[in-house]
Amino acid sequence: MSNDPSFEPEIVLLYCQRCIQTGTGETSADIEVEADHTVGFSVQPVMMPCSSKIEVPYILRIIERGADAVEVVACSADGCRFLVGSLRAEKRIDYVRRLLDEIRVGADRVGISRGPGLSPKDLIDRAAKRAEKVKALGPNPMNKGDVQ
């Protein structure tokens, strides 16, 4: 448990390109701008072609390199263009959460949420929810200070 009120979690936000609003002209650059205005946490947004591309070693490497948490935002289960991509991602996230609990780092450091038609603010709000869960855990005990 963290009692440090100055702790500002570093969140890596991995999001499926298909969960972003279409027709509004918003781009990944808009998400970067939104990410630059967070308070109480920092977020590094990374767009993926599909949430199914996320692999267990990749998520663990992000945590190992010092991120306090990872939030994966996938398209809805029935909206995945690869049919089962977001379901695969969910199974992988569940596996990583079990591993993190086993090594006592905390399952809440990794999560997945879904949503079609999300705005940049919606994406950052999901990172903010992950940051709130991680604040209770405190800084990543594996932090080597080189988040990439």
- The predicted-structure confidence for 2-57, as pLDDT tens digits, reads as follows 567 789 999 999 998 878 766 555 556 677 877 887 889 999 999 988 888 889 99
Tens of pLDDT, residue by residue over 89-101, are 899 999 999 999 9
Tally of domains in the chain: 1
| 131 located within any domain | yes
The CATH number for 98's domain is 3.40.50
Please give the Cα distance from 42 to 36 (Å, whole number).
Answer: 8
Please give the Cα distance from 114 to 77 (Å, whole number).
Answer: 8
Strands of the sheet with 42-48, listed across from one edge: 42-48, 10-16, 69-74, 110-114
Contact 68, 11 (CB under 8 A): yes
Task: Name which of 15-29, 61-75, 85-99, 111-125 the model is least confident about.
Answer: 15-29
What pLDDT, on a 0 to 100 scale, did the predictor assign at position 35? 83
What pLDDT, on a 0 to 100 scale, did the predictor assign at position 146? 43
- Print the domain residue range for 25: 10-137
